[in-house]
Structure 1
């Protein structure tokens, strides 16, 4: 356009040409922007029709691109420390830097389209029966073997509030089902479980933090109690990395079989929190005080072979043959007499039930305090910043 302006100074003829070209360029630009705006509006409508929660990271990205598209760069101050949601949103928006509104609109449109396409693909390939009771689990029962599969592979099977409730319900059903002899828990995809989904701490206004902590403490207490009270043999089939509460409750299982690619990690102090799942009692009894301290206090991650060496894992299998070896073994165990298994487990476990419930109560009370502490808030915000 600068070149055209230089031509315009040469003669009235060229000046007229320039004016015509300028008008054409403006019209074309407006048409492009109009078309982009129409796609942008259509994408907003498509977003509202998504049936599944796309996850915390996706929602932050959507929020940031929308703000950048409609407002431009960040024009507000960063929210206070206790406003988890506000700070996460602000950080996501601020991370877009000087991206233009047009670029942000294009990115927003492309991202929404990808989310919709992904959901449509999942719906097309969904093989779970329409009568399946659970959204976060895949539960099957066959020939006495109940398999509870944590089924959020794209989120590394992180545990949401819904999954906590579903997992407890699935255990209760398996315990009461006369056709179930052995119950196994495993994960979909490459992870066994990445622990708590920290988005559980999001979307909570500062004034609601105390109630959230109290409710979460009660939820966790019920969840752990469902393992303490489970009467039948319970086996963990650890198909990949395990983190947090998915590790601590393993001490309440009757056997733990793991692939050699599995790892075990309980990073409580790194997140300003404290042990749960009765691990403050069970870990020292299983592996000794020193090893338990390394895991529960010092955030040490251990391999499957290290876990087997300290008595935490029953047996480790090569990853290449893990699935082929474990499931036939469990199917064979499911042919054993059910009452003999129940009575035998009661003899080895019932003497400690009262102690375990008391430990569970104490741990959950301490966690409520931890969730409301400043160091926990700072640690969680630091985690989201690193993740982003």
Structure 2
């Protein structure tokens, strides 16, 4: 298949468009600009990137794949069909965004923006740094206890999607600055919502959360969580989707679903009973039992616990061991460990988000949230 996917020409990336059957159509400015940028490259993308470009383009210009699956012997057509079919739930706007980001990454690498050096993307709430094969994503709202805004959800989702196809990234770490790992959702997200807007906001929240958790499930490379302090809600439940979790002995783990009239998310309804046992998982998810770092370790949520003044150094040693290991072997090992679970996890995430959307529109949630906010104050 790899040989068949190579274009017949050399030096012109327009051959990629011709090979993949692209047609230039008007769309968002970023998407249109990305098509033009792609033609400026002198080195053609690898086959994996070509297929992603094809899939995003088809999702934008045609929509979800409804064509008949090619025969098993039509390797090229089947590879293209499979790539497109995986995006069937992705919105056109999201596909445009991912296409543009992928092209921009290719241009950045060719013009000197990638490679093994250090690349820093910084905004007010997140610090993202790529250095020596490691993408570090750090929550950066210490004064807000590293609570998550909707934009932070989107940015982390996009960062994981890009890193998954970036050859310069071998490992991704998720951590935080300040005393807290994360206090969960920024409660301001629930403020100032009019009764007429509740349904719309709930549906938007459902889509954002589902994409966020899906990005953890689908991430093909080692994903390491480095928990520096107390963790709440979604930043606890998604720990079960990480490959390794290193914790400071000052960390705690808390999922206050009962107090806020919500339900489990982050695939915790499936994974927590698997790793902790049903009774211990129910204590965490139903009774909101706050776990110490040692208890989280004893219940298999955490890989290792270190004294606070040593834990980053110890975590970095393990990350470096991953980085210096053969990258394709690491990805292959993760795939064989995780692949049987991926369809189930995606379905569990879909169902959890659907249930949460219904929770968010219920009077019970509104009353419980107001009590929770007042208690926190």
Q: TM-score, normalised by structure 2?
A: 0.67
The Cα of 1:328 is off from its aligned counterpart by: 2.9
The Cα of 1:329 is off from its aligned counterpart by: 2.7
| Alignment check: 8 A CA contact 2:147 2:183 kept | yes
CA distance in 2, matches of 1:370, 1:272: 7
- Alignment partner of 1:167 is 2:151: no
CA distance in 2, matches of 1:225, 1:250: 13
CA distance in 2, matches of 1:239, 1:379: 29
The Cα of 1:355 is off from its aligned counterpart by: 0.5
- Alignment partner of 1:195 is 2:222: no
Matches within 5 A, 1:52-91: none
CA-to-aligned-CA distance 1:302-359 (integer Å, 9 cap, x gap): 0111111111100000112112222233123211111000011000101111100110
Matches within 5 A, 1:1-388: 132=121, 134-388=123-377
CA distance in 1, matches of 2:179, 2:164: 28
| Alignment check: 8 A CA contact 1:236 1:257 kept | yes
CA-to-aligned-CA distance 1:183-233 (integer Å, 9 cap, x gap): 110011011111111111112111100111111111101110000100000
| Alignment check: 8 A CA contact 1:136 1:162 kept | no
CA distance in 1, matches of 2:140, 2:127: 6
Structure 1 residues 317 and 131, CA gap change in structure 2 (3 angstroms): closer
CA distance in 2, matches of 1:133, 1:279: 30
Secondary structure of 1:319's partner?
Answer: coil
CA distance in 2, matches of 1:198, 1:303: 24
The Cα of 1:144 is off from its aligned counterpart by: 1.0
Secondary structure of 1:269's partner?
Answer: coil
CA-atom RMSD in angstroms: 1.5
| Alignment check: 8 A CA contact 1:136 1:166 kept | no
| Alignment check: 8 A CA contact 2:245 2:301 kept | yes
The Cα of 1:131 is off from its aligned counterpart by: 7.3
| Alignment check: 8 A CA contact 1:265 1:301 kept | yes
CA distance in 2, matches of 1:130, 1:346: 27
Whose helix fraction is larger, Structure 1's or Structure 2's? 1
CA distance in 1, matches of 2:219, 2:315: 22
What is the total number of aligned residue pairs between the two structures? Answer: 260
Query: Where does structure 1 lack aligned partners over 5 or more consecutive residues?
Result: 1-128
| Alignment check: 8 A CA contact 2:172 2:222 kept | yes
CA distance in 1, matches of 2:373, 2:271: 30
The Cα of 1:384 is off from its aligned counterpart by: 2.1
CA distance in 2, matches of 1:133, 1:152: 12
| Alignment check: 8 A CA contact 1:143 1:331 kept | no
CA distance in 2, matches of 1:280, 1:316: 24
Between 1:326-335 and 1:371-380, the stretch displaced more is: 326-335
The Cα of 1:130 is off from its aligned counterpart by: 11
The Cα of 1:375 is off from its aligned counterpart by: 1.3
Between 1:129-138 and 1:322-331, the stretch displaced more is: 129-138
CA distance in 1, matches of 2:221, 2:322: 12
| Alignment check: 8 A CA contact 2:170 2:221 kept | yes
> Which structure has the larger Rg over C-alpha atoms?
1
Between 1 and 2, higher relative CO (CA 8 Å, sep ≥ 6) is seen in 1
| Alignment check: 8 A CA contact 1:134 1:166 kept | no
Q: TM-score, normalised by structure 1?
A: 0.65
CA distance in 2, matches of 1:130, 1:319: 28
